Structures are given as C-alpha cells and as structure tokens.
Amino acid sequence: MKLGDHVMYNKQEYKIMHIYRNGTCELLATTNPNFKNVLVVELDKLQK
C-alpha cells in the first residue's frame, strides 16, 4: 500500500494520508473528510 490509496477499514472507505515505519498509517475518511478525525491504524488491518 502507498500514500493516497483508498482502503477499507471497519466497513468504511478511507484514504491513506501517511505511512509510518512502525507499520501503522494515518487514515482520513473519504465520505466526510475532517482532519480532526484522523485514525492511526496498523497496515495489516486494512483491506484494499
């Protein structure tokens, strides 16, 4: 996965905003984007 990819997490679509070296990434919802609600999630829990 790479920056800008659209992925599924908890049955919602998100966009990858940042990928960390420790295997986590920042996700931003695509349906109602709000930078106050960015999630940090492990990459292995995402579906493409």
In the chain, where the domains are located:
6-45
Residue 43 has pLDDT above 90, yes or no: yes
pLDDT given for residue 35 in this prediction: 85
Integer CA distances (angstroms), 21 to 9, 18, 26, 39, 42, in order: 20, 10, 12, 16, 11
pLDDT given for residue 48 in this prediction: 87
Q: What is the pTM of this model?
A: 0.89
